């Protein structure tokens, strides 16, 4: 999502979650240590053979790829505060053999997502949380192009052997009821057609009357909001992590 747009418009319709219920790369670096023990002395010396280049232990955990925009990238938060980073912490605490790869890009649209699909597929994800489309809606782009792009990404990820979890969004009411309903319907229709799991509205659990879980822009979760979003995602992810 792009900064500076009031995503919800702080509309009263969100007061009681009246909207339909709609995903930080964790990079591991292993330093290779080489040690050489030299023993000096006049008597018999014993020397330990040097461990010149111990190979890095392979990471055999399955990959959960978060493929989204600034909400997934953790806009306005520290690197370890985004909801994908918090998902990794949950996996580690529960000793789940999963590694989160965050490919959230601030400001990205569905067409941008299509353009970087090859790099995403190269990560060999077992599960993909697809969180794109919000910027399309905020820019008022044609619904047909948003739908076509999301459909193309779902098909490509599934063809690569990944399970897709689709994270939906909604729009402020000032975009007009027809556009908003049509936008929301994209996610439910595609989830039904391709039998993907669906989070109808990714941010539903942080929508409150005072909007306290959102940053001042009204779009992006605060640190506490990101924790709630991670819980929301985890509810849908848990069955596919087994």
Q: Catalytic positions, please?
A: 70, 217, 220
Tell me which residue of 153, 71, 141, 133 sits closest to 105, measured CA to CA. Answer: 71
- 187-192: long-range contacts (C-beta < 8 A, 24 or more apart)? 187/22, 187/133, 187/150, 188/20, 189/147, 190/147, 190/150, 190/151, 190/154, 190/166, 191/166
Specify whether the CB–CB gap between 220 and 3 falls below 8 A.
yes
Backbone angles phi, psi at 128, to 5 degrees: -125, 125
Q: Tell me how far apart the alpha carbons of residues 48 and 184 are, in angstroms, rounded to a whole number.
A: 66
């Amino acid at each position: 999502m792009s900064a500076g747009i009031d995503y919800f418009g702080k509309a009263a319709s969100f007061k009681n979650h009246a909207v339909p219920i709609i995903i930080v790369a964790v990079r591991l670096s292993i330093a290779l240590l080489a040690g050489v023990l030299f023993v000096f002395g006049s008597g018999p010396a014993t020397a330990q053979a040097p461990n010149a280049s111990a190979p890095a232990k392979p990471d055999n955990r399955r990959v959960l790829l978060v493929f989204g925009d600034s909400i997934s990238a953790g806009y306005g938060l520290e690197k370890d505060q985004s909801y994908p980073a918090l998902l990794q912490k949950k996996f580690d605490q529960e000793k789940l053999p999963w590694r989160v790869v965050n490919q959230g890009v601030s400001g990205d649209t569905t067409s941008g997502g299509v353009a970087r699909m090859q790099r995403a597929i190269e990560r060999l994800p077992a599960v993909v949380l697809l969180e794109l489309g919000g910027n399309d809606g905020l820019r008022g782009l044609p619904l047909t192009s948003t739908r076509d792009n999301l459909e193309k990404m779902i098909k490509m990820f599934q063809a690569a052997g990944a399970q897709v979890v689709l994270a939906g969004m909604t729009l402020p009411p000032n975009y007009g009821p027809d556009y908003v309903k049509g936008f929301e319907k994209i996610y439910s229709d595609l989830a039904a057609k391709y039998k993907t799991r669906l989070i109808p509205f990714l941010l539903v659990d942080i929508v409150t009357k005072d909007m306290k879980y959102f940053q001042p822009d009204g779009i992006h979760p605060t640190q506490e909001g990101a924790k709630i979003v991670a819980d929301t995602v985890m509810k849908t992810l848990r069955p596919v992590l087994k």
